Every structure is written in C-alpha cells, then in structure tokens.
C-alpha cells in the first residue's frame, strides 16, 4: 500500500430509510478537496483488487470509495439483488458530494453487478453524478435469457452472494444441479434454498415486477456521460453495445449523446486480463492500459479537462485480424447487411450433412430439414460449470456431430470477410409441440476443422411476439422467428467457412424447454418435439450478417 494514502474504514453512510451502508474511503495525502470515485459492490469491498484500484486513483488526485451494497459485507439491511440499488446509489452519491473533502463531482465505476446498478442509480438523476464507467453490464430482464426464466447457471451466482459474505461456488456440483427439475426447487438440490430464485420464477413475463430494475427502455431520462466496456466473449456482451447505441441516440441532450464511448476487446467477463481464451490467442496487443483509459475519462468529466481524451467514440478489436480499430458509431454506418440463405437437400443434420449457406436467394422451395429435440438429451453449451464465465471461443466440432444439430456452411471463402456488429437469424420453422425453443450459433469453420463459436442466441416459441405477450403455437404450423445472436467482430480469413448451427437447446446456458406448454419452471414432465426447418423461395430462412467492407485507403 502507498504509505502516503489515508484510509477511513467502515464509514457509515446513511440511506433515507435509516439503514447505513459501509464504505472504505481512500484519501490522497495532500489537498483539501477532491473529486470522488465510487464503486458499490455486492462482492465485499475488503479485497486486494479494491485496494489496488483505490491506490491508482488516489495517486491521480481522487478520493476513492469502496462500498458494500445493502445486506452484503459490512452494510446493514437485506440483500435483494438490484431492487434497492437505484435509490441507495443516489443517497450514497449525494452524501459523498456533501462531505467537506469533496469537490461535489462524483463518478461511479464497476463491472457486472456494479455496472448495472450504476444505470439504476442514474435513472434517479443524482445531481452530483458527473460520469460513469460501466463494464460487462447485465441487460434488462430476459434480454440475455429470453426464455421467461433465468439461466440455470444464475443459481450459481445467487449462491455465491448468499448471506453477508461470498460463498464458495466450487463447493457445489453444479454440473448435476443444473439437470434438476422442476427448476423451482433447483435451489434445494444445490443445498441452499434461495427466495430470490423462487420469486423470479413466479414472474416469467416482462411485467410490473421487473419494471423497477429495467433501464434500457429509459435512456431518454439518463443525463450522464458513460464509458462502456465489454468483450466479445463476455457472457453478458449484448448489453454494452445496446447501451452505447441507446445513449448515443436517445440520451437527454446533444452533449450527453456525444459524451458516450464504447470499448470492446477480445475478452470474457473478466475484461483485459488475458490475451488467450481457450485455444485462441489474440496476441499481446489485445491487452491495453485500462487504468489510463479510466483516468482520462474521469479527468475529462470530473476535473473539466476536455483535452484529457480525444479518442474516437468507438474503439473495437477485430478478432481474426487481431487489431484495434477506431470507429464513429455502432453499428457501423458502412455495414452491408448481408443475407446468407440456408440451403440443403433435406439432410443438414450434423457436420456430415448437406447444409449450405450462400448469398443467393433460393429460386424454388427446397426439401425440409428435420430433427427431434429431446429435453432429456439437450445440445450442450460448452462452458465451465460455475457462472464466473459462461462460454468462450470454444470448438463445436464434437457438438456438430449430433443429428439434432443442423449445420449450414459456406464454401471456403475466396476472400476475407469481416463480420462486425449484431447478428440475427430469420428462421421459418414448424414444431409438433405447442411450445419449444430454436437456437442459432455463428461459427468460424477453420480449414483444420476447428469450429470456433462466435455468438449465439435463442427464441422461445411462446415469446415470439415479445416477453410481454406469450402465446402457444399451433403444432404443424410454420412460423417465422427472429433469433437475436448478440454481436461479434470477426475477420473470416480466406479459406475459412462461415458456419451456422440450428437446434433447440443450449444447455445449461438456457433452461430446457420441456415442450409441453406448462407454466415455466414449475413442472418436470417433458415430451420430445419433432422440428422442421424450412428454406427456399417461399420460406427464405437466412442468417443476416453485418458485413463490413474495407475502408478505402
């Protein structure tokens, strides 16, 4: 620890309802007033990472505050994830701004849970909140898991933050827990009943229960410049580009809309910590001086140093090429939204099948591809069992050997193709069930046979018209589904193929659809669904890719 840094431990910060939250406050050695950086966390503030962050800011002339959220660590009250954090954040910021050692300018920082609660705080417009740095931010309910239920892996996180201190996630055999049915009692199977898990299952629709913790429908009421940070393999990646775009187009004033910056690297949920994920090494240039990025941002907005940052509003890492690039907006204005149509002779099952992708619009109707989805034998989503990082650039060659995975690939590319932006699949499908799921995954098929996952998504049939308006489907009827597959920035190299997987499960990232149409999360009975995927002139199923042409010069 820097010997000249002063620390005031366990300072009690009053909330409006009388509960006090615990803050450790780190002061520079000289001066009388400083701008303040606040990090509120459910992960217990007393750790070396918090100390190291505090030292960096103190050395640059900031007071740094680490605070336990309500009900966690040394703070009073009961922890209910997200539901109290907006008001508590407001009260914490205004208390800090009123202290004699504060200039009144407060910035907030944090990733994941500490990122999302910054948004919930900003909705209350604390007068002294001047800037935010939000990382790997969870989205609104059901944006990441559009099934009406949280991911089974979310229970692992709820276990981790049970009680006042962090629990040992590895103490539970999560790989077996995720198979438990019904989902409503999976917490008991894990050995720790959890009311938050059960309460959420009671609200499978986007209803008033969730409105207090939504923010992505309210950007037009947020008046804060934001540095948005995430990685292409962050398991909550979808939120960060959505937030940047939302604030850039809907923020309260022209200055706020211009005061947004997006930084996306080839990282997982723990951004900027390693250049290698799984078998993919993105090179030493993939790691940056993140602390300098943060300091420049706060210097600009909390110390009124407009010269402190002249960066482009968007800085992204292009995987495959493994280079950083500056852009002016997201999605990129020069994007060519390109339809890669699904084709086959009716046997696209597995990587040994005849499924193809091409930019040529089908001229006639083609044979239907069929498979059976059995909830007792779901398609695996490759991941470690805890929720610390869900998925990565994994090799799906083994998964694609299954007959319940349809595989469509282009011919080997004659030229490089850059795909940067949001990806979606427009799918025409029929099921024998009254409710079921359809999944899509974009992969880079290497000449070696390695099949690198890039991004993926899922749609639950009953929610095809939105999470507010569920309706079961008619067996044997063809429906058009739009599957949002999140974002990527990948240069497909010459000789590689663009690949697509279509199936009906990605377990345990998403809960298994039991195909019965029963109330979600409450039952154990399931049936097998017979699925039919259509493609052709009448039903032109297509993977829609954001192809980015090379800049002139």
**Chain position carrying tokens 């010269």:** 307
Residue located via tokens 């469509």: 408
Q: What is the 3-state secondary structure (H, E, C) of 108-143?
A: EEEECHHHHHHHHHHCCCCCCEEEEEEECCCCCCCC
Residue 333 to residue 200: CA distance in whole angstroms? 39
Instruction: Kindly name the residue from 187, 234, 299, 511 that is annotated as catalytic.
Output: 234
Asked if 142 and 148 touch (Cβ cutoff 8 Å), the reply is yes
CA of residue 317 relative to chain centroid, distance = 17
179 exposure class (CB count in 10 Å sphere: 0-12, 13-18, 19+)? middle
Look up 196 and say whether it is catalytic: no
CA distance 240 to 263: 9
437 in active site: no
Q: Which of 22, 75, 102, 112 is catalytic?
A: 112
Peptide bond into 331 cis (omega under 30): yes
**What are the residue ranges of helices labelled H in 259-350?**
290-302
Question: Distance between CA 6 and CA 210 in Å, rounded?
Answer: 41
- Token match 């723990």: residue? 270
SS3 annotation, 328-372: CCCCCCCCEEEEEEEECCCCCECCCCCCEEECCCCCCECCCEEEE
CA distance 244 to 250: 10
CA distances for 300 relative to 38, 227, 296, 303, angstroms: 17, 12, 6, 6
230 is catalytic: no
Give helix 113-122 / helix 85-97 axis angle, nearest 10°: 80
The residues that bridge with 310 in the sheet, in sequence order, are none
Contact 111, 271 (CB under 8 A): yes
Catalytic residue among 154, 159, 269, 343: 269
Whole-number Å distance between alpha carbons of 432 and 440: 19
**246 has which bridge partners?**
none
3-state secondary structure of 372: strand
- List residues with catalytic annotation: 112, 234, 269
């Amino acid at each position: 620890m820097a010997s000249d840094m002063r620390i005031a431990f366990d300072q009690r910060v009053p909330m409006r309802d009388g509960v006090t939250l615990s803050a450790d406050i780190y002061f520079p050695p000289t001066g009388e007033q400083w701008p303040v950086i606040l990090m509120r966390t459910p992960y217990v503030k007393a750790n070396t990472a918090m100390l190291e962050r505090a030292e960096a800011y103190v050395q640059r002339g900031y007071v740094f505050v680490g605070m336990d959220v309500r009900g966690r660590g040394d703070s009073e009250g009961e922890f209910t994830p997200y539901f109290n954090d907006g008001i508590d954040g407001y009260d914490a910021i205004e208390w800090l701004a009123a202290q004699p050692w504060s200039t009144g300018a407060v910035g907030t920082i944090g990733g994941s849970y500490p990122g999302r609660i910054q948004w919930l705080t900003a909705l209350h417009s604390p007068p002294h909140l001047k800037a935010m740095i939000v990382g790997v931010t969870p989205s609104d309910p059901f944006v990441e898991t559009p099934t009406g239920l949280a991911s089974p892996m979310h229970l692992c996180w709820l276990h981790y933050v049970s009680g006042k201190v962090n629990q040992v996630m590895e103490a539970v055999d999560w790989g077996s827990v995720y198979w438990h049915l019904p989902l409503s009692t999976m917490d008991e199977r894990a050995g720790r009943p959890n009311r938050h898990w059960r309460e959420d299952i009671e609200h499978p629709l986007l209803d008033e229960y969730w409105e207090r913790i939504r923010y992505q429908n309210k950007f037009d009421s947020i008046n804060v410049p934001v540095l948005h940070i995430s990685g292409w393999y962050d398991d909550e990646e979808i939120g960060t580009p959505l937030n940047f775009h939302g604030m850039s187009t809907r923020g309260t004033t022209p200055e706020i809309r211009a005061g947004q910056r997006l930084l996306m690297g080839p990282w997982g949920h723990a951004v900027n910590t390693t250049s290698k994920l799984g078998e993919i090494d993105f090179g030493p240039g993939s790691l940056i001086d993140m602390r300098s990025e943060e300091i420049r941002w706060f210097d600009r907005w909390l110390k009124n140093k407009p010269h402190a940052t002249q960066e482009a509003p968007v800085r992204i890492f292009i995987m495959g090429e493994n280079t950083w690039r500056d852009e002016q907006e997201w999605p990129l204005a020069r994007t060519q939204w390109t339809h890669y149509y699904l084709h086959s002779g009716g046997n696209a099952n597995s990587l040994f099948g005849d499924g193809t992708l091409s930019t040529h619009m089908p001229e006639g109707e083609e044979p239907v591809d069929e498979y059976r989805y059995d909830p007792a034998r779901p398609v695996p989503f490759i991941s470690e069992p805890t929720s610390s990082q869900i998925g990565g650039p994994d090799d799906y060659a083994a998964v694609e050997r299954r007959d319940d995975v349809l595989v469509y690939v282009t011919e080997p590319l004659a030229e490089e193709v850059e795909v940067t932006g949001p990806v979606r699949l427009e799918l025409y499908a029929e099921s024998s069930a009254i409710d079921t799921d359809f999944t899509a995954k974009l992969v880079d098929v290497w000449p070696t046979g390695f099949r690198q996952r890039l991004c993926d998504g899922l749609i639950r049939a009953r929610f095809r018209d939105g999470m507010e308006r569920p309706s079961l489907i008619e067996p044997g009827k063809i429906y058009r589904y739009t599957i949002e597959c999140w974002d990527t920035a990948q240069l497909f190299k010459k000789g590689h193929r663009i690949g697509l997987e279509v199936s009906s499960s990605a377990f345990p990232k998403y809960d298994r659809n039991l195909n019965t149409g029963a109330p979600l999360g409450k039952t154990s009975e399931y049936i097998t669904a017979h699925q039919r995927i259509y493609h052709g002139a009448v039903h032109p199923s297509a993977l829609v890719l954001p192809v980015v042409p090379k800049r002139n010069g």
